[in-house]
């Protein structure tokens, strides 16, 4: 059974994750977090020992939503190409449906925390590495099943897919135009189709 304290912590994360994702760690003031959470500063510190802990757990909350989206998308798919397309679609959907307001939490955290916040940077690296491993594993499985060409390289493919989609997301946000993402998704699907055995 979930305790009242656990429910409060969850509510604080749900409400504060968009603040960090929109304003960044440095830009999110305690007054912003108090206003978003509905708790006084002392109430927040009853559940989180520091602003940094709240930021880290807020990131984990948003990254967990992304993991859930990947799991749900892959659960209904069979075949290497269909599963790779599902991952592309999940990442492509970030342009219009981020897990929390403000866009991709991994991209935002990676850019903002580069040298300023090592713990947040490490969290972003772990999340991004998970995406790269997921795509690489799908390519490897496709090679082993004979669906994808023996020449398909899991590491190269995962790098190209993630870099293309995150770059497209940045362009889409910068220009307030999701067409950049739509083009990237379409291009990547053609690229992935070219990896099929016999192509």
In a domain, 140, yes or no: yes
What is the domain-level CATH number for residue 120?
1.10.357.10
**Residues 160, 117 contacting (CB under 8 angstroms):** no
For residues 88 and 189, the answer to whether their CB atoms sit within 8 Å is yes
What letters, b where the CB count within 10 A reaches 16 and e where it falls short, cover 72-95? Answer: ebbeebeebbebbbbbbebbbebb
Q: Is residue 134 part of a domain?
A: yes
Is 159 within a domain? yes
17: containing domain: 4-193
* 198: in domain: no
User: Total structural domains in the chain?
Assistant: 1
Below-50 pLDDT ranges, the chain: none
Is residue 93 in a domain? yes
Q: Which of 168, 82, 166, 178 is nearest to 128 (CA)?
A: 166
Q: Is residue 106 assigned to a domain?
A: yes
Give tens-digit pLDDT for 115-156: 788 999 999 999 999 999 999 999 999 999 999 999 999 999
Residue 166 lies in a domain: yes
199 domain-assigned: no
Which pLDDT does position 199 carry in this prediction?
59
Is residue 164 within 8 Å of 184, Cβ to Cβ? yes
* Angle, CA 168 vertex, CA 165 and CA 171 arms, to 5°: 155
């Amino acid at each position: 059974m979930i305790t009242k304290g656990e429910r409060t912590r969850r509510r604080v994360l749900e409400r504060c994750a968009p603040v960090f994702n929109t304003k960044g760690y440095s830009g999110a003031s305690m007054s912003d977090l108090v206003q978003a959470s509905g708790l006084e500063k002392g109430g927040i510190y009853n559940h989180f020992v520091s602003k940094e802990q709240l930021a880290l757990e807020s990131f984990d909350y948003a990254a967990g939503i992304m993991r859930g989206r990947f799991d749900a998308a892959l659960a209904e798919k069979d075949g290497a190409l269909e599963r790779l397309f599902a991952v592309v679609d999940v990442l492509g959907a970030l342009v219009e449906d981020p897990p929390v307001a403000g866009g991709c939490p991994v991209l935002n955290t990676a850019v903002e925390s580069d040298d300023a916040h090592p713990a947040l940077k490490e969290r972003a690296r772990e999340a991004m590495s998970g995406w790269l491993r997921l795509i690489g594993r799908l390519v490897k499985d496709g090679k082993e099943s004979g669906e994808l060409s023996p020449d398909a390289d899991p590491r190269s493919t995962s790098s190209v897919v993630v870099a293309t989609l995150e770059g497209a997301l940045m362009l889409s946000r910068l220009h307030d135009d999701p067409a950049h993402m739509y083009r990237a998704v379409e291009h990547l699907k053609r690229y992935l189709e070219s990896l099929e055995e016999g192509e």
